[in-house]
């Protein structure tokens, strides 16, 4: 059983001062095994903070990131799942499922995590999942102004992944859960 925290688009300090306090109190070291971050942190301090939660940190580069060394895309394998990571501003139109599915096929991943739209979305698509964790700080984007802070925690266990969605709505943390099972046949089909 592996817990993977997925978040992005924090835009600290340009569009938000910090993570919401409620999120910060929930994110404690010791529980999470991996962090994947889609980008736009945007400063190194946020990177350091994430490192304190979990040393295994994977970041792709957003358009506002100071650190230019982050890759555009990244793939990693956790358990039986292959995860793809991309900020998403490169995929046009932004947040479009078909475009994202193209990227998913390109990277040959089961789970594709992208950001940039600041809107939480999760699609089951072609035996895989496409997830956008939204903005962890609720920062505005070029598309939307009214953004609820949200992030995603994936519980990967064998062929099964449970996606917990944490969303801060009116000062309360709402949790949702999405189950996803990968079948062996689909895996081989890839």
- Closer residue to other proteins in complex, CB, 4/16: 4
Helix residue ranges per DSSP H, the chain:
21-26, 44-53, 97-107, 184-189
The C-alpha atoms of residue 154 and residue 5 are separated, in whole angstroms, by 6
Q: Compute the least distance from the CB of residue 177 to other proteins, in Å.
A: 6
| Least Cβ distance, residue 153 to other proteins (angstroms) | 6
Q: Which of residues 56 and 155 has its CB atom nearest to other proteins in the complex? A: 155
Q: Can you tell me the distance from the alpha carbon of 3 to that of 32, in angstroms, rounded to the nearest whole number?
A: 5
In whole angstroms, the minimum distance from the beta carbon of 132 to other proteins comes to: 19
- In terms of CB distance, is 35 or 100 closer to other proteins? 35
Q: How far apart are CA 149 and CA 134, in angstroms?
A: 7
The two most distant CA atoms of the chain are separated, in Å, by 46
Nearer to other proteins, 105 or 160 (CB): 160
CB-CB contact of 122 with 15 (8 Å): no
Residue ranges that bind other proteins, judged by CB under 8 A = 1, 3, 25-28, 30-31, 153, 155, 157, 160, 162, 164, 166, 173-177
Is 88 or 149 the residue whose CB approaches other proteins more closely?
Answer: 149
* Cβ-contact 111, 98 below 8 angstroms: no
What is the smallest separation between the CB atom of 140 and other proteins, expressed in angstroms?
A: 25
Cβ neighbours, 10 Å, residue 84: 25
Structure tokens at 159: 């062929």
Task: Report the nearest approach of other proteins to the CB of residue 73 (Å).
Answer: 27
| Residue whose tokens read 């699609």 | 123
């Amino acid at each position: 059983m592996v817990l993977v925290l997925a978040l992005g688009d924090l835009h600290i300090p340009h569009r938000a001062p910090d993570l919401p306090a409620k999120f910060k109190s929930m994110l404690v070291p010791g529980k999470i095994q991996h962090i994947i971050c889609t980008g736009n942190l945007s400063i190194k301090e946020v990177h350091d903070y994430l490192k304190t939660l979990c040393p295994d940190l994977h970041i792709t580069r957003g358009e506002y990131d100071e650190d230019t060394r982050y890759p555009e895309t990244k793939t990693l394998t956790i358990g039986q799942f292959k995860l793809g990571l991309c900020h998403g501003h490169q995929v046009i139109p932004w947040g479009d499922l078909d475009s994202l599915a193209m990227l998913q096929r390109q990277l040959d991943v089961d789970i594709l995590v992208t950001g940039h739209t600041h809107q939480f979305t999760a699609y089951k698509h072609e035996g895989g999942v496409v997830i956008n964790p939204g903005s962890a700080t609720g920062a505005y984007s070029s598309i939307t102004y009214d953004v609820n802070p949200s992030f995603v925690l994936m519980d990967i266990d064998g062929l099964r992944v449970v996606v917990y969605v944490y969303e801060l709505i009116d000062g309360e943390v709402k949790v949702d859960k999405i189950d996803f099972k990968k079948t062996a046949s689909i895996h081989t089909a890839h």
